[in-house]
Amino acid sequence: MQTFSSQRSRADEPALWLGTSWKMTKTIGEALAYVEQLLTVDIPSGMQVFVLPAHTALFAVANALPQDSPVLLGAQDAHWARDGAATGEVSMRMVRDAGASIVELGHSERRAAFGETDERIAWKVRAAVDSGLLPLVCVGESHEIRVAGGARDFVASQVAAALSGLNPTEVARAMVAYEPVWAIGEHGRAATLPEVTPVLDSIHEVASALSSTGRLRAVLYGGSVDADNISELVTADGVDGVFVGRAAWDAAGMRRLIEIAAQARRLPGT
């Protein structure tokens, strides 16, 4: 089983991040079968791969990853409180204890279906950093906000709110994934670079204002990422990597994305 320290040493300064959330899919057996295949993939130096299984599979996947694995493990969410009367929830320290080093926060599905507010997401970001986890904050505008011309301001406000509980030296310990709500999911439409780039610029501007280093740990793009558009996305200005959905839900698809992204970025060994 990987320890947090052994995972983090691999992720100090990756040139490219490539991760996937499995959402509410995969039993423990299915998760382990995926990982077994993923570990046969030659992940090039400079690429940081990560997977976010369901909570039920975290510990099993953590034990399946060797100490020197190039794959990081993360959780899809966690509560901000250390412990207490929060039936059905798990805390940051619990997911870290199960083997996670990343925690996804603020996904649009949780904002819409479970009423997650910017304030609660900020509490979770604070709790993640306090627990030694790397928060991956998801932000993105709806189709209505996009059409009205408010995407940049809306996403900038989401980022600023999520990071509001961190001090300037801690902001560089957080990642942000820009996922336009209209571009994700089974019926999402792949965004074009002209649609994405101005919003990414806004995210970087917020980070520059809030962080003592002038930047976040990484800024990822997610939303209908697949084998057809990943090359363009990973070579775009302001993109440190991609956060993939359905195209990476099977190990063969993930392998293909790793290969294409590595070649596009001309990483060593490709």
Query: How crowded is residue 183: how many other Cβ atoms within 10 Å of its Cβ?
Result: 23
Residues 6+ away with beta carbon under 8 Å from 4 = 96, 101, 132
pLDDT at 4: 38
For residues 67-83, give the mean pLDDT.
Answer: 96
Residue 269 has pLDDT above 90, yes or no: no
Residues 239, 242: Cα–Cα separation, whole Å: 8
DSSP 8-state symbol, 41: S
Q: Which CATH architecture has domain 4-264?
A: Alpha-Beta Barrel (3.20)
pLDDT in the model for residue 12:
58
Is the predicted pLDDT of residue 7 greater than 70, yes or no?
no
Is residue 221 packed enough to be buried (19+ CB in 10 Å), middle (13-18) or exposed (0-12)?
buried
Phi (first) and psi of residue 115, to 5 degrees:
65, 30
pLDDT tens readout for residues 152-195: 999 999 999 999 999 999 999 999 999 999 998 878 888 999 99
The pTM of the full predicted model, rounded to 2 decimals, is: 0.93
Give the residue numbers marked as catalytic.
Answer: 107, 179
Q: What percent of the chain has pLDDT over 90?
A: 90
Q: So where are the chain's domains?
A: 4-264
Question: Is residue 11 scored above 80 in pLDDT?
Answer: no
Q: How far apart are the first and last CA of the chain?
A: 28
pLDDT by residue (tens digit) across 235-268? 999 999 999 999 999 999 999 999 999 999 999 8
The whole-number pLDDT of residue 268 equals: 85
pLDDT of residue 185: 81
